[in-house]
Each structure stands twice: as C-alpha cells, then as structure tokens.
Amino acid sequence: MSQPLRSLSRGLATAAKGDHGAAGAGTWRLLTFVLALPSVALCTLNSWLHAGHHERPKFIPYHHLRIRTKPYSWGDGNHTLFHNPHVNPLPTGYEHP
C-alpha cells in the first residue's frame, strides 16, 4: 500500500521542477507595478485634490426619514452612535448653523 502513495508523491514533486509558473508570476508582477500601483496613486491624488469643505444641504423634514420608534441605548437617545453634528441632522434639523 505504501508503494502507490510513494510513486504519487514523487510524481507531484517532480512536476514542480524547472521553470513552472515563472511566466505567470512575471506577468502579475508587471501588472502590479505598471497598472495597480499607479492606479492607486492616481485615485489618492484625485481624492486629495478634491477634498474640501462642502456646504451641507438644506434640511427638509421628510416624514419618512429619521423615524425614531424608541430612543437609542446611549447618550440622550436621539443621537446615533457615530453622530457627526456637522453632517448628520436630528429629526428636528441640524444642531449647528
């Protein structure tokens, strides 16, 4: 029984000899340095150049938004867990003008 397993393991070990897979690795290395890294750099630059202070939209009290059926378990019960007073309005409107 050990003879068939031994021949199978030798066959798999000899298949990995030589230059098996080097062409694929070279292609992925080239794609990484020529395509992926410059793309990440361009996206980072675009994000950095367009980052700025934007005016928040006018608050319109739609009845179907910001429905509170029961208070939150933290704080005063009206603010979400990651509440940002400059961006997230309460049901009655923004906190700071």
H helix or E strand, kind and range, residue 59:
none
At 18 the pLDDT is: 62
Residue 37 has pLDDT above 80, yes or no: yes
Cα 16 to its chain centre, rounded Å, is 36
Q: Do the beta carbons of residue 74 and residue 44 sit within 8 Å?
A: no
Residue 8 has pLDDT above 70, yes or no: no
**What is the share, in percent, of the chain residues with pLDDT greater than 70?**
78
Q: Report how far residue 58's alpha carbon sits from residue 60's, in angstroms, rounded to the nearest whole number.
A: 6
Q: Tell me if the pTM is above 0.75.
A: no
Joined tokens for residue 58? 């006018």
pLDDT single digits (tens) 18-30: 666 778 888 999 9
At 81 the pLDDT is: 92
Q: Mean pLDDT throughout 52-74?
A: 88
